[in-house]
Each structure stands twice: as C-alpha cells, then as structure tokens.
Chain A
Amino acid sequence: MDAEIKASSPGLGGRNWLRLGSMREAGLIAIMLALCVAMTFASPHFLTWGNFRAMLMSFSIEGIVVVGMTILLIVGGIDLSVGSVVCFSMVVSGALFLMGLEPWTASLLGIGASALIGAVMGFFVTVIGLNHFITSLAAMVIVRGLCLVITKGTPLSLFTLPPGFKAIGQGSFGNVPYVIVIFIVVVAIFDFLLRRATAFRKVFYTGSNEKAAQFSGIKTKQVKFWVTVLCSTLAGFAGVIYMSRFGAATPTFGAGMELNIIAAAVIGGASLNGGSGTIFGAILGMALLSVVTSSLILLDVSVYWQDMIKGCILLAAVSIDHFLHRRKS
C-alpha cells in the first residue's frame, strides 16, 4: 500500500481538480478542433489570421468577465449583474471623462464604482444573508437603471478620447491587438492564482462545503464577499476596455451578456453548486461558443438561429456532464 501511495503522489497538490477538469478540457478542445477542420473545408475564409483574430477579439473582453464569473461560481455564487456592471463602468468612466477628468483617472474611478457595486452585493449576501441569484438579479436591474439615469438614455459620444487611451482597445503589437494581449495576461494570472494561491484554495473549500470550511477556521463570509467584489471589478475592467474600443458609452450595452458568460463557464466545467471549475475550461467554453458563432456566419446561417444553437450547446454540455457525474456516483 505504501508503494501505491508514493507512486500516485508526484508532489503536486490540486492535481485532482486539474485531472477532473482536464478530461473536460480535452473534450472541448477535441470538439473545437473537429469543428475547425470541418469549417476549413466548408469555408475558405475560416482558416485565416483575419478570421481567428476576429474570433479572439470577439471573446477577449468578455473573457475577462468570464474569469471573475468562474471564480464566483466556484465559491457557490452567481452574478447576473455583470452585463449591467460592464455598461456601468463604461458610462461612469465616460461621463467623468466628459466632465473633464483624465481618461485614465476616469477609468480607475469607473472600475472602482464597479467594485463598489460588488461590495454592496457582497454585503447583502454575507451580512443580510440573501442569495447571490436574487441579489445580483436586483443589482442587474438597478445598475442598468443607473446607466440610463447617468446618460439620460442617450449614448455618450467619446470621440475626444486621446489616442493613447483609445490604443488599449484599438491598437496592436504588430498583428496582435492589445485587447488580446490583455486578455491572455489576465487569464494566465488568474488561472495560475486559482490553481496555486492559498487564498484561492479557500474559494474551493468554501464552495465545496461551506460548513466544513467554517469548521476548519476559514472565514467563509469574507471569502464570498471578496470573490463577489472581484467579479464586479473584472466586469468594470472589461467595461473600460470596451469604452476604449468603441469610443462611446451606450447605456444599453451588455444586456444579456451575463447569460453568455455563465454559459461559457458552465460549458467549461464550472458547477452551479460550487466547488469546481477552472478558468482554462471556462475560456475554452467561451472559445467554443465563438467558433460556433463564426462558423454560422461564414456558412451564411441567419443570425436568428445563433442564439438557439448556442442554447442547445449549453444544454448538451450540461447534460453530458450530469450523465458522467451520475455514472460516477
């Protein structure tokens, strides 16, 4: 028995999550590769850098929001307000810029305001004791309302943003847009931290069994509070990048975004019951949805079909997962 233990413990903790997750990730990659190969034959435009850059661009900024959502799902929460918060961050930063603030300062304040929304939600969840679903549903509506109030319902035109600031969303290193670089850096940092940092291990403990975590001396309310704040902060960060990219702040932007984000995280293996999920998986989920969308466009399928097909993919992914879990237990 001793030998058995030694053989199977290569000195890496957290491997279990990785292993359980990596089956899922390998599956996603396989599906995506198959889809890519098929599309390469079906459309000459598919396997081009232009198309890949477009696909990457399309999910890069949302991908930053997915990172926060995945961590929140792991702790056992959910945030329906991310779409509104992305917009809120754009609108607040944009309005402050129009009031004469430096765009960088305005953006920081916008991100700070988003974090504050997260803190308020975290307060209601941990101190008042409401659940994440209802709290964030209320926040989604309230924050959207705030966006409309701030802008009086009309888009803010921000064409006066200095080129240096616009570059974040529009510039590139040679062929690679900054947006993609930012996305990859954010994903790499949080993927690493989630797997390796002690603070994030507490997120898994809390999401897996909150009571057991408390009986291990972990302050689970604090953990949930800060993860809620992190999710909103990352949404705020994404909002600022959108502002730089579009040079405008539209008060209706991001409506429905939360569903896409949650779908991506869940396809990537995050559990709505908490305790499991990986950022890499969630990003693959996002990428799969993006490849599908791009394929449908290239195949000239009407845009009206897209949402329906995305929904079916979500349902299939979750069903397969449920089936595998049931088989295991």
Chain B
Amino acid sequence: MTAAAILEIRDVSKSFGAIKALTRVDFTLRRGEIHALCGENGAGKSTLMNIIAGIVQPDEGAIRLEGKNVTITSPSAAQRLGIGLVHQEIALCQDATVAENILMAAINSRRAPLMNFRRLYADAQKIMDLLAPIPVETPVADLSISNQQLVEIAKALTLDCRVLMLDEPTAALTETEAQRLFAIVRDLKARGISIIYISHRMAEIFSLCDRVTVFRDGRYVATDSIASVTPNDVVRKMVGREITQLYPEKLSPERRTDRPVLSVENLSYRQGSAGVSFTLRTGEILGIGGLIGAGRSEMVQTVCGLRPKVSGSVELNGEPVSIRTYSDAVRAGLVYLSEDRKASGLFLDLSVASNISALDLRKLTTPLGLLDRRAEAKQATDLVERHGVRMGGIETQVSTLSGGNQQKVAIARLLSVGPKVVVLDEPTRGVDVGAKVEIHRLLRDLAERGVGVIVISSELPELIGLSDRVLVIHEGAIVGELGADELTEEAIMLLASGLRQQQSNARQVQNVA
C-alpha cells in the first residue's frame, strides 16, 4: 500500500556564505509514516528541517504540502500549516509552567493585555494529554529530562498537527525513557500525524521507522523501505564507503588475563549507601551500563577524585593509591573524559594545542615557570597525528572542528599524560558514524597496549559491541556483571531497571530460609 505524499521537497538548495548546505535535494514524506532521515553531521539534515520549519529559507526549489506549493516564511507560518519541529536540545523556560512553555507562541501572538490562565491551562492540557498525563501547572524545572522532552514535543504539536519533525529526540534519554517515547511516537502516527525522525542510532530507526532517507554532504543519496535494507546498508550510504565492521574485534579468550589494572574496593560515593567493588583487568574494555541517574558518572568521578568519596580504596596495578583530588588521579595515571564535550570537556575558543596541554601543564613548564611552547607543539602534533584528528593545524580553534574531531582532541588530552587507566563517559555522543568507528578502534588499541579502558555508554549497541565485560549499575549499586557472551540488550535492561536483581535477592532469601 502506498499512501499519498503529504510533504514533498523538490530540488531544494541552500547555501550559507560559501558553504553549500543542501544541493538540489528531494524528500517525500507519506501520510501517516515515520520516516527516518539519516546522515553524518554536516550532511544537511538539520538544514532541511529548518527549511521545513520556516527557520531558514531555501535558495531554490519547491515545498509541496498536500499537493499545494507552499512558502514557509517563519516558524509561526509553519505552525499554522500544521508543521512542528522538536529541536535536539531542550530549550524550555525552566521557571515557567509547562502550559506557558507549550503555548509560548500563542501567548506571544495573543492581543489580550492580561493572561487568562484558566484557558491557558485548559488548552495546554489538551495538547499535553496527547502525549502523557503531565499536569501543565507544573514548573518545567520540576520535570525529569524525559518529561521535559515530551513538553518540547507538545510545544511543536498543535491540535491540527500534520507533520512532526523530531531531531535526535533520544539523545538525552535512557533506554526505558526512549522506549516510552517510541510508544508515544507510534501513537501519534496512529492519529495520522506524519513524522520525520532524525537519529544516529540504527537500532531505533529499524524498530520505529517505516522508511529511511539518507543524505550525504548536502545531497540526497537514497530512500528505502526499512524492510528492504539492513543497518549496514544505511551506514554505508551515510559514509559513502564500506564499513566492514562497526565495532573492533573483542579481546580473544586466550589473551584474557586476570591481572588487574584497577581495583576499586568498597567505594562509597553517596552518603549512607553501600560501597561498590570492581576490578578492571589488563587488556579489556570494561563497559558500565545503567539508566541515566543510576549513578554511573558519579561512581567513576568519585574513583577519579572529581567528587569526594565517603569511604573505600583504589589500587592501580596492585599498588594502593590515595586519590583526594583529580590532580592526584592524573598523577597516578587515572584520567576521565566527561560526558558533555561542550559544557565540561573542551575549551572551545582555545586552540587544539592548548586544549591538549590542559591536563598536565607541569610537564610543559620550564624551571622559570614559563610554558615550553616547543614541547607543547610537539606533544600536540604527535597526538593529533597518531589519532587522525582532521584539522588545519594545532593552532586551529577547537570550536571549528567537527564533533568527532573535537572528541578526538579531548581523548588526545587524556593520552597526553600517558595514563594507566582511561575512563570515558559517553565517548561517542554526538559523533558521526565514521568518527565513532575510529574512536572505538582507538580504544581497542589502547586496551591492547595494556591501558585500562572503562566506557560508560547509554547506547546499548555500543556498550555491547565495544565491551569485553559490562557492569550494570542500578540506584548507585552494581547489580550485575555480564561477560562478552552474555551481552544482550535485554540482559542489560533487566539489570538496569532493577528487575533481575530483585529476583536474585528473592532467591537468596529463599536459600537462607
């Protein structure tokens, strides 16, 4: 069955200055379908979304909505046509209520001098109820991230919404929250809303969407029915070359050792909670899974001295180390990559070289207290060459690099101190497929050279594809450990949601009885 097209994009081009963001692209959205739009960063997905949402105007080409040519001059014009865009980042007024956020545009265009809160709440609740029963009088700041995401969607929805665009809506969500969102998206589809879905995550696309369109370098590549392609096909089209293997080879059984690089003993990082213990062995990549908020980042940050610990001890290569501050950890050879590259990872307005130097300035300091710029440049050049950072030179401002290259710079900084253990929190978030493969390869190389590697990831396929062993955290405690042959999404989710641990507790109780 082929439904009629609701939205057609024909021959649309758009340039920003000298940069051609879109070159004569086509795109057809059928009525009532969920249509995935894929492409690496810079492929032109966001530009197309912004054109459809009226945020930018195309240089040429036509947009047809239900067969009629339309010109979408502004976001409010798009909304009047029944087109809504949910941006990737949550941008809500945190102190205002859900209702005020949902109807911000309507409030703005209303002529009445005073607010009619009763009507506002009633109208907003009608829209919110399409998604989830969130009371609209609540201030946004009181909602969880996933509920805030739903408010963002409610903001884009109108009661007569026809086309809804979602730009990486699961980027900040945990697996369970994402599943809940998918159910809502399917429900919207059942109500006859046509959905354009942007995501980097193949698993999502293949479970949720009907068709997939791939863009590369601002050009249309192909549109396929999901049933007729595999994730590898889509990735190949996105990167324009064959990626034979998404994830590097795992540690072979014969090379496995029991020699610990890092042992954490009874570490308590929340007042009053029980301590956690775990070991990282030479040569392996240890994954840490769990829901957002389960305490994964807190736990590793405590190990690295970035948060105060309540109790517990840490051993590196069998030697006890005292880590009170992050500087202690760095000196001992234990380094941490923060999950939010832009907010807490990089100095965006500084150069590649100075970003790499930040972790250990002492090494680059002459006895007079001056910075040894020759040594700094040499260190930066060595590291970026070794890790294939693509850029103009080590004096390039980091903000001008792509997400993948920025992340490589952040990792190069960790490696500048010759670490014994690297802990990476969401190392490939917001990184396109090609760079992701390179980063995974790099982590595997490190592990093979004997550096301990710990990876926290919310993306289950990555956790499974990359790790030799996974620890699952639930409410601050390690609730399970899965070896390479036990790694499935289901097994991780059962542990992460606390289901399996309850069962095993029950069994223990029975055993005791």
Contacts and interface: CB of A to CB of B under 8 A. Distances in A.
Q: Do A and B come from one complex?
A: yes
A13 interface: yes
Interface string A1-27: 110111111111111110110000000
Interface stretch (B154-162, B259-267, B271-279, B323-331): B323-331
Given A5-B385, A9-B380, A198 B371 contact: yes
Contacts of A9: 353, 377, 380-381, 393-395
Given A9-B380, A12-B373, A19 B395 contact: yes
Interface string B370-388: 1101101110110011000
B232 to A, nearest CB: 28
A11 B373 contact: yes
Given A13-B354, A275-B347, A217 B373 contact: no
A201 B395 CA distance: 15
Contacts of A19: 395
Interface stretch (B75-83, B190-198, B356-364): B356-364
A279 B198 CA distance: 46
B353 A13 contact: yes
Nearest to A273: B349
A198 B354 contact: no
A171 B359 CA distance: 48
A205 B373 contact: no
A8 B392 contact: yes
B377 A212 contact: no
B370 A212 contact: no
A218 to B, nearest CB: 7
A98 interface: no
A169 B327 CA distance: 46
B348 interface: yes
B338 interface: yes
A16 B344 contact: no
Interface residues of A, number: 39
B322 to A, nearest CB: 15
Interface string A84-105: 0000000000000000000000
Nearest to A18: B395
Contacts of A166: none
A202 to B, nearest CB: 7
A197 B369 CA distance: 6
B343 A217 contact: no
Contact of A201 (B371, B394, B396): B371
Given A9-B393, A13-B353, A216 B413 contact: yes
A215 B301 CA distance: 10
Given A208-B347, A211-B343, A13 B393 contact: no
B442 interface: no
23 contacts: A8-B395, A9-B381, A11-B378, A13-B351, A13-B373, A13-B377, A14-B373, A16-B354, A197-B369, A197-B370, A204-B347, A205-B347, A205-B358, A208-B349, A209-B344, A212-B345, A213-B347, A214-B326, A215-B345, A216-B326, A216-B413, A217-B330, A275-B349
Interface of A: 1-2, 4-17, 19-20, 196-199, 201-202, 204-205, 208-209, 211-218, 275-276, 329
The 6 nearest A-B residue pairs measured at CB: A8-B393, A16-B351, A211-B344, A13-B376, A13-B373, A208-B347
Interface of B: 306, 325-327, 329-330, 336, 338, 343-351, 353-354, 357-359, 361-362, 364-365, 369-371, 373-374, 376-378, 380-381, 384-385, 390, 392-397, 399, 413
Given A7-B393, A11-B378, A16-B396, 19 more contacts: A2-B385, A8-B394, A9-B381, A13-B353, A13-B371, A13-B377, A17-B351, A19-B395, A204-B350, A208-B348, A211-B338, A211-B343, A212-B343, A212-B347, A213-B358, A214-B326, A218-B358, A275-B349, A329-B399
